[in-house]
Chain A
Amino acid sequence: MNIVVLVKQVPDTATERKLNPADHTLDRAGSDGVINELCEYAIEEALLQREKHGGEVTVVSMGPDQATDSIRKALSMGADKAVHLNDEALHGSDALQTAYALAQTLSTVSYDLVILGSESTDARTGVLGAALAEYLGVPQLTQASKVDIEDGTATIRRTTDYGYDVVTASLPAVVSVVEKINEPRYPSFKLIMQAKKKPVEKLDLAAAGISAEKVGLANAATEVTDAAPAPPRAAGTVVKDEGDGGVKIAEFLAEKKFV
């Protein structure tokens, strides 16, 4: 079974994240990049499925040069090879354009399963898996907390507001994973050394079959018109509990008409 796992490099949440003042896009170069946390769960799931069913795990990532760090990380965890879509023209692509570009890129790879994280920590739209399924015309098995593959059929537990749905579809399919699905492994020293020799294919728009007029900031269906730091919260009241802390909060809540 051949598995593609999608990997994205994002600015580290723990550092200050910025927008480019000129076009309000994310300043990827000016912040420390890390692999998107949920991507690690996607990679882990891809590796677990490969252990069960054999085949190859191919990392696909769209991103500027820095994205190589995240691709390396995925290869060090144990993925076999990688495809890196890197083209200046992709800058400023919104979520749907990104899904289109990745769908085109996937047409250059053979796969039975595409696995990705259910959300990235930078834009947090959570729509990529669904949009990808739409573009690829394959079943959508998203928000999975459990994945079982048997005889060309995938069955997942789809996280819902009330618990979960059991959802089934035949392969190929797009699976997005939530955090509780597994525990990502740490790369071993041996795998880190091996990862350096694993093949990383670099694609630009033309090589991936992407039309330039469908991607990038100028062609996005959405536009950020302005951005500003959030107004600071007014300094709150801090009181030490002198045996009446609960009463003090109740008074605050009464003042705000919550009780």
Chain B
Amino acid sequence: MAEVLVLVDHVDGEVKKVTQELLTAARRIGEPSAVWVGGGSANGRATLAEYGAAKVYVADGSEYTDHVVAPQAELLATLVQDHAPAAVLVSATAQNKEVAARAAIKTDSGILTDVVDVTGELVAEHSIFGGAMVTHAKVRKGTPFLAVRPNAVPAEPSPADAAEEAVSVELSDAARSATVTERVVEERGERPELTEAAIVVSGGRGVGSDDFTVVEQLADSLGAAVGASRAATDAGWYPHQFQVGQTGKTVSPNLYIALGISGAIQHRAGMQTSKNIVAVNKDPEAPIHEISDFSVLGDLHTVAPQLTEEVKKRS
């Protein structure tokens, strides 16, 4: 069976959920081989095995992460040349899309980004124009590089060996030209990452102030990530990196709860592919109701706390 490379996302040796999803998707196409960059692979191996990685290529060494994007692109390009995989899957994060694009150029291949589903024949589905249209696309040259969105394919275990194989590539000077001198981790507490979360609770102008407690408490009761509309981030009520929408993050969770968000087209562009949408909004005319599965017309400052209490009672 043809090999399918899956670039692993991990934090401190913990494999992210999106990688489990990609391994599941890769099994539709062929036999997944995980690509692990950096240290800690021993900690992640069990998860990779559980989700079907037959092999794990381990590129351990700080040189792959001390320089931006280019080293990982050289690594992927080398693995593609050596193993001729049927495809390369990465998660559709800003960085992995860049890695995949550069590796695709090096291997004279094509790249499809922000894929929301993929078949065994490598037909990729896209949701475009803020969810208004669905298109299908194929790569017809070289090795298909697909950047797949988190939550696109539900992760299902299917145990395999996850046999480790150390790899190393001789990095070019060009790959070392942009150097990371410092990493700054901004506080986000224990909440899941916005683009990866299965549930997102977002607050908009309706929250009314920089006191986002009502949004955060609901999010925490559900184990959800917190998002915000641009009205809220522009006002400085919530940090910019949590903005959802056309100029913010694109999320596609199983459940999206919009509190005091009108549902402007630019906001919808970042959340319309959510599988279930719940809205709390005072205004019956707000466009968010057109796309929501369940809307409550009311004041979020009473409805959301009540919901938080109910969720706590039921869990």
Residue positions of A touching B, CB distance < 8 A: 13-14, 17, 19, 24, 37-38, 94-96, 99, 118-119, 121, 124-127, 129-131, 133-135, 137-143, 155, 157-170, 173, 179-180, 220-231, 233-234, 236-241, 244-250, 252-254, 256, 258-259
B292 at the A/B interface (Cβ < 8 Å)?
yes
Is A254 a contact of B314 with CB atoms below 8 Å?
yes
Is A233 a contact of B113 with CB atoms below 8 Å?
no
Is A250 a contact of B314 with CB atoms below 8 Å?
yes
5 more CB-based (< 8 A) A-B contacts, given A14-B265, A226-B136, A233-B291: A157-B184, A167-B180, A179-B247, A230-B127, A246-B303
Is A250 a contact of B307 with CB atoms below 8 Å?
yes
Selected from B101, B109, B178, B277, the residue in CB contact (under 8 A) with A131 is B101
Is B112 a contact of A222 with CB atoms below 8 Å?
yes
Secondary structure class of chain A's binding surface, majority of residues: mixed
Selected from B97, B180, B296, the residue in CB contact (under 8 A) with A166 is B180
Q: Which of B68-76, B151-159, B161-169 contacts A (4 or more CB under 8 A)?
A: B68-76
Evaluate whether A165 and B182 lie within 8 angstroms (CB atoms) in the complex, with A247-B306, A249-B278 already known. yes
Is A222 a contact of B137 with CB atoms below 8 Å?
yes
B38 at the A/B interface (Cβ < 8 Å)?
no
**Cα–Cα distance between A210 and B284 once the two chains are bound (Å):** 54
Evaluate whether A221 and B293 lie within 8 angstroms (CB atoms) in the complex, with A13-B130, A141-B68, A259-B311 already known. no
In the assembled complex, 27 residue pairs joining A and B whose CB atoms fall closer than 8 Å, in A order, are: A17-B132, A37-B247, A95-B101, A121-B269, A126-B97, A127-B101, A130-B102, A133-B70, A140-B70, A162-B185, A163-B185, A163-B241, A168-B178, A169-B179, A221-B108, A221-B142, A225-B136, A226-B136, A237-B294, A244-B306, A246-B304, A246-B305, A249-B280, A249-B310, A250-B314, A253-B278, A258-B199
Q: Contacts of A229 on B, CB cut-off 8 Å?
A: 132-134
**Cα–Cα distance between A15 and B247 once the two chains are bound (Å):** 17
B93 at the A/B interface (Cβ < 8 Å)?
yes
Q: Contacts of B100 on A, CB cut-off 8 Å?
A: 127
Q: Contacts of B299 on A, CB cut-off 8 Å?
A: 241
Evaluate whether A126 and B113 lie within 8 angstroms (CB atoms) in the complex, with A131-B105, A236-B293 already known. yes
Evaluate whether A227 and B133 lie within 8 angstroms (CB atoms) in the complex, with A130-B101, A180-B240 already known. yes
Q: Contacts of B305 on A, CB cut-off 8 Å?
A: 246
Chain A min CB distance to B293 (Å): 4
Chain B min CB distance to A38 (Å): 7
Q: Contacts of B113 on A, CB cut-off 8 Å?
A: 95, 124-127
B62 at the A/B interface (Cβ < 8 Å)?
no
Evaluate whether A246 and B140 lie within 8 angstroms (CB atoms) in the complex, with A142-B98, A237-B294, A259-B315 already known. no
Is B297 a contact of A240 with CB atoms below 8 Å?
yes
Residue positions of B touching A, CB distance < 8 A: 68-70, 73, 93-95, 97-102, 104-106, 108-114, 123, 127, 129-142, 174, 177-186, 188, 193, 195, 199, 222, 240-241, 246-247, 250, 254-255, 257, 265-266, 269, 276-278, 280, 284, 289, 291-299, 302-311, 314-315
Q: Contacts of A254 on B, CB cut-off 8 Å?
A: 314
Q: Contacts of B295 on A, CB cut-off 8 Å?
A: 236-239
Selected from B110, B178, B296, B315, the residue in CB contact (under 8 A) with A140 is B178
Chain A min CB distance to B29 (Å): 17
Selected from B69, B199, B284, B297, the residue in CB contact (under 8 A) with A130 is B69
Of residues B246, B255, B309, which shows the largest number of chain A Cβ atoms within 10 Å of its Cβ?
A: B246
**Cα–Cα distance between A120 and B152 once the two chains are bound (Å):** 22
Q: Contacts of A142 on B, CB cut-off 8 Å?
A: 68-69, 98
Selected from A119, A127, A236, the residue in CB contact (under 8 A) with B292 is A236
Is A169 a contact of B94 with CB atoms below 8 Å?
no
Q: Contacts of B141 on A, CB cut-off 8 Å?
A: 221
Is B101 a contact of A163 with CB atoms below 8 Å?
no
